[in-house]
Amino acid sequence: DASFDAFVEATMAEFKTPGMAILVVNKDRISAKGYGYSDISQKTPVTPHTLFYAASTTKSFTSAMAAHLVESTDHPTIKWDTPLAELIRDDFVLDQSTPEGRWATDHVTVEDALSHRTGLSGNDMIWNNGVVSNRDIVRALRHVPVKSQLRSRFAYANNPYTAVAHAVSTTLDRPFGDLLKENIFDPLNMEHTIYSLDDARTIVEKSDHVNLARAYIWDDSSQSHKLTDWDNLPPSNGAGGIISNVLDYSRWVRHLMKPSDRTLALSKNAVKAMRTPRIMVPPDETHVGAQAYCLGLFSQVYRGRETLEHGGAIGGFMTEMTMVPPTAEDIKQGRGDAGWAVIVMQNTYSSAAGIVVWHLLDEYLQVPVAERPDRVERAKERQVNAEETLLPENVVKRLFGFTAPATSIQPALDLESYQGIYSHPAHHKLKITVD
């Protein structure tokens, strides 16, 4: 309605968000609308058909593919407790300089990798700093530290998902993207969900109503949006490569909320495995109550209802996907369609998508307005805090544990002497120049 439109537009303006697509699933109905521009210079409007990079919501599909194979009798070598090293022995080797790394090399399972409990964290420069193959990404992991003991704590990491995609692709001798298309996208009629920029461009060229969003970063100094390049990710990297739109994602969330063994996609047991919590997640200020990670999905009880969600950000794009599945009583009473979900896709990094999701969730659950936190103000506070952490004095304290001296220490050499190309076996090459 008009009041919701005004809320969305005000939120987008506050957080400098050029374009956004929103879709709500409520029982057997969907409502979808686009706001703003997918291309600022061309004044191309966002519509529900607009394609966005779906970022880390890709992880739900990678987990789904693994669940499909685990439940299948055709691939007995792939089980939740199968060590990755058994599937890709030469490639999956972790840091051999520590006991933690040597132990994890032989014992990290498919389930561990998909539930962020491998002991690895970060190190996204492995694939952010130049296009490399999934095999190259996995082989680079031997050159990065294992931060904690296997299964001792939750540590969000992209690269283990790439390891699973590589293991599945190697075991079946098929490109991972082809497997997703054959087993998930096509059975669910997700005809505009793809795993490569070239495929997205082909769809746009052949369609009179689909467009591909451009991504932007807000530049405070010029008070304008700066265009970013489309991420040319490794094909089917398992962690964040899918391109899709909110309409296709409505089919995905419906399937996750109400799987049916009559479909050609995931069985009920496969979806149950995906939705089963595997490890607790440390609390943060954006969530209320305990949160756990399942397989490609976060799980939480909010206002007495189970919620499943995942978000993601990549290359200037953000996606938020939240579901409230039917209750056990709904299913018992034959109300299996009683689920609710929201998908938001946008073309910049900002808090806007999350604010819209929480607003719609609170509306659906009829949370009294007086009991809702001011999420806009909280987001603005987080933004200020994030900016403060990047101040030079705070960076020094965070990295080195001491406060920077009041007077700068002059470098031993002139700045030009530090120019050059530096390399790391995992993070490739870094070029340093004097600006």
pLDDT in tens, 187-210: 999 999 999 899 999 999 999 999
Residue 323, H or E segment: strand 317-324
Could you tell me the pTM of the whole model? Answer: 0.93
Quick one: CA dihedral 52, 196, 254, 317, positive or negative?
Answer: negative
90: which residues sit within 8 A by CB, 6+ positions away? none
Q: At what angle do helices 246-257 and 268-275 cross, to 10 degrees?
A: 100
Decide if 11 contacts 376 (C-beta within 8 A).
yes
- Residue 335 pLDDT more than 70? yes
Query: Where are the domains positioned within the chain?
Result: 1-374, 387-432
* pLDDT > 70 in the chain, percent: 96
* Rounded distance between C-alpha atoms, residue 236 and residue 61, angstroms: 11
Q: What does the pLDDT read at residue 124? A: 80
Q: Which CATH superfamily is domain 1-374 in?
A: DD-peptidase/beta-lactamase superfamily (3.40.710.10)
Q: What does the pLDDT read at residue 307? A: 96
CA 346 to chain centre: 13
- Residue 82 pLDDT more than 70? yes
SS3 138: helix
Quick one: CA dihedral 55, 177, 296, 329, positive or negative?
Answer: positive
- In this prediction, residues 123-138 reach a mean pLDDT of 80
Q: 71 is written with which tokens?
A: 């439940």
Residue 50, H or E segment: none
| Residue in the block written with tokens 């719609």 | 360
What are the pLDDT digits (tens) for 133-170? 899 999 999 999 999 999 999 999 999 999 999 999 99
What are the pLDDT digits (tens) for 395-416? 777 777 777 777 777 889 999 9
Strands 279-281 and 317-324: unpaired
Number of Cβ within a 10 Å radius of residue 337: 15
Three-state DSSP string of 55-98: HHHHHHHHHHHHHHHHHCCCCCCCCCCCEHHHHCCCCCCCCCCC
What are the pLDDT digits (tens) for 27-66? 989 999 999 999 999 999 999 999 999 999 999 999 999 9
* Rounded distance between C-alpha atoms, residue 238 and residue 358, angstroms: 27
Q: Which residue has the higher pLDDT, 76 or 126?
A: 76
Which span out of 72-81, 103-112, 222-231, 262-271 was modeled with the highest average pLDDT?
A: 103-112
Q: What does the pLDDT read at residue 5? A: 98
Q: What does the pLDDT read at residue 287? A: 63
Residue 234 bridge partners (DSSP) = none
**For residue 424, which phi and psi values (nearest 5 degrees)?**
-140, 140
* Rounded distance between C-alpha atoms, residue 362 and residue 213, angstroms: 29
- For the chain, report the end-to-end CA distance as a whole number of angstroms: 50
CA 260 to chain centre: 25
**Cα atoms in the Cβ-side hemisphere of radius 13 Å centred on 175:** 10
Decide if 34 contacts 21 (C-beta within 8 A).
yes
* CA distances for 173 relative to 89, 152, 166, 167, 177, angstroms: 15, 33, 10, 10, 12
Decide if 237 contacts 56 (C-beta within 8 A).
no
- Residue 93 pLDDT more than 90? yes
